[in-house]
Amino acid sequence: MTRQTVPILPGATLGVLGSGQLGRMFAIAARRMGYRVHTLSPDTGTPTGQVADREWVADYDDLDAIAGFAREVDAVTFEFENVPVAAAESAARLRPVRPRGEVLHTTQNRLREKTALAHHGFPTAAFEHVRDRGALDGALARIGTPAVLKTAGFGYDGKGQTVIREPSEADEAWQSIGATEAVLEAFIDFEREVSVVAARGADGAFAHYGVTENRHRDHVLDVSIPGVQLPGNGSEEAVTIARGIVEALDVVGVLCVEFFVTRDGGLLVNELAPRPHNSGHFSFDASVVSQFEQQVRAVCALPLGSTGLLRPAAMVNLLGDLWQDGEPDWSAALDDPLVKLHLYGKAEARAGRKMGHITAFGDDGEDAARRALAARERLR
């Protein structure tokens, strides 16, 4: 599909809804290419605001502020998918919003997302809509145990979800997720978790960063190793699914597909993120064109760039827990010349909060992961 879209050229101003580390790295990529960047969120002194030309402070549901922001920029994107759809719609009346608000609407709610995936025939774990406590018993009887109960809206990094091992745990589980509309899904005894970061241009062009293996700790991403090869044609299949999803949702921008790889080598889509993703942070240092620059290019209707990996790399996250005994020893981490440090400029280091990451290079992905983990160890 080719669409004629006028490119938004360097010198123009890009508006980002959201102000975290994803917006920060987007802004760095955009400024490097000569764009100006505005960010809007309810906070000040934010990771994105620190590197933007202008930081707007407003609630996402302040539609007058959103409209004022949109008028001052040439295109709008987001780095946080829980921006209310009304905000994206308000901006879209004035400026191009990429990806479009409909993509936000689908992906900010697990039930809508899973329903859309199933509707298009993409593989997911078996799931059921759980409207209320009464519906949970029937869903448990059909899905079986163990199962995972997840809130339908606003969940990420394992927040708002709990495992139900026995039907007798239903009450406790229902209360623990806040007694709210939910999805019950089959518990997958996966072999590993992987993701594909994909990009789609305004002209329909497709790019992907291959298959990245993701290791989690306490439901939060810990280590990512790009360029892994799944057995058989698993890697090609994962990319085909990712391509199918960005095309079915008509995404212009970057979208990450997270998968479970089952013990028999099957792929199940766990979750979508319609923006650059933590599992693609390696690309900032290790790819010809990073996921952040790719988002700039897609939003600006420029040609997508090469996703080629310059050399084997791995990424580890730096969570707030590392600050427990005071400021980490940054110079010790950098003792290895193949280690690169990224800090997001967050003032307060709370436990579990993503404060930065380390990317390391190596002879292969596992060697790079060892170096990145060793560098993190030296921080303490």
In the chain, alpha helices (H)? 21-32, 63-71, 85-92, 101-107, 110-119, 133-143, 170-176, 234-248, 283-286, 291-299, 330-333, 365-378
Lay out the sheet containing 220-225: strands in order across.
267-273, 253-261, 192-200, 206-217, 220-225, 313-319, 354-361, 339-343
Residue number with CB closer to ligand AMP (55 or 113): 113
Angle (deg, nearest 10), helices 63-71 and 85-92: 40
Does the protein bind ligand AMP through residue 271 (CB under 6 A)? yes
Q: C-beta of 4: minimal distance to ligand AMP in Å?
A: 37
Q: C-beta of 190: minimal distance to ligand AMP in Å?
A: 6
Looking at 31-39, 154-162, 166-174, 224-232, which segment touches ligand AMP (CB under 6 A)?
A: 154-162
Does the protein bind ligand AMP through residue 169 (CB under 6 A)? no
Does the protein bind ligand AMP through residue 142 (CB under 6 A)? no
Q: How far is CA 5 from CA 26, 130, 242, in A?
A: 21, 42, 24
**Which amino acid does the sequence have at 311?**
R
Residue number with CB closer to ligand AMP (156 or 206): 156
CA-to-CA distance for 192 and 262, rounded, in angstroms?
7
Q: C-beta of 79: minimal distance to ligand AMP in Å?
A: 18
Looking at the DSSP bridge assignments, the partners of residue 196 are 211, 257
Count the site residues for ligand AMP by CB under 6 A.
14
User: What residues numbered 12-31 form the site for ligand AMP, per CB under 6 A?
Assistant: none
Does the protein bind ligand AMP through residue 216 (CB under 6 A)? yes
Does the protein bind ligand AMP through residue 263 (CB under 6 A)? no
Residue number with CB closer to ligand AMP (55 or 81): 81
CA-to-CA distance for 83 and 275, rounded, in angstroms?
12
CA-to-CA distance for 67 and 175, rounded, in angstroms?
39
String marking each residue 70-109 x if it binds ligand AMP according to CB under 6 A: ----------------------------------------
Nearest to 193 by CA among 242, 124, 262: 262
Q: C-beta of 6: minimal distance to ligand AMP in Å?
A: 37
String marking each residue 28-67 x if it binds ligand AMP according to CB under 6 A: ----------------------------------------
Residue number with CB closer to ligand AMP (27 or 257): 257
Angle (deg, nearest 10), helices 291-299 and 21-32: 70
Looking at 13-21, 88-96, 153-161, 351-359, which segment touches ligand AMP (CB under 6 A)?
A: 153-161
Distance of CA 133 to the CA centre of its chain: 30
User: What residues numbered 173-212 form the site for ligand AMP, per CB under 6 A?
Assistant: 185, 187-188, 193
Q: C-beta of 219: minimal distance to ligand AMP in Å?
A: 5
Q: C-beta of 314: minimal distance to ligand AMP in Å?
A: 18
Assess contact for 12 and 296: CB atoms under 8 A. no
Does the protein bind ligand AMP through residue 274 (CB under 6 A)? no
Residue number with CB closer to ligand AMP (148 or 261): 148
CA-to-CA distance for 248 and 341, rounded, in angstroms?
37
Does the protein bind ligand AMP through residue 123 (CB under 6 A)? no
Does the protein bind ligand AMP through residue 270 (CB under 6 A)? yes
CA-to-CA distance for 301 and 229, rounded, in angstroms?
31
Q: Which of 71, 93, 219, 263 binds ligand AMP (CB under 6 A)?
A: 219
Assess contact for 167 and 137: CB atoms under 8 A. yes
CA-to-CA distance for 246 and 251, rounded, in angstroms?
5
- Which residues bind to ligand AMP, rule: CB under 6 A? 125, 148, 155-156, 158, 185, 187-188, 193, 216, 219, 258, 270-271
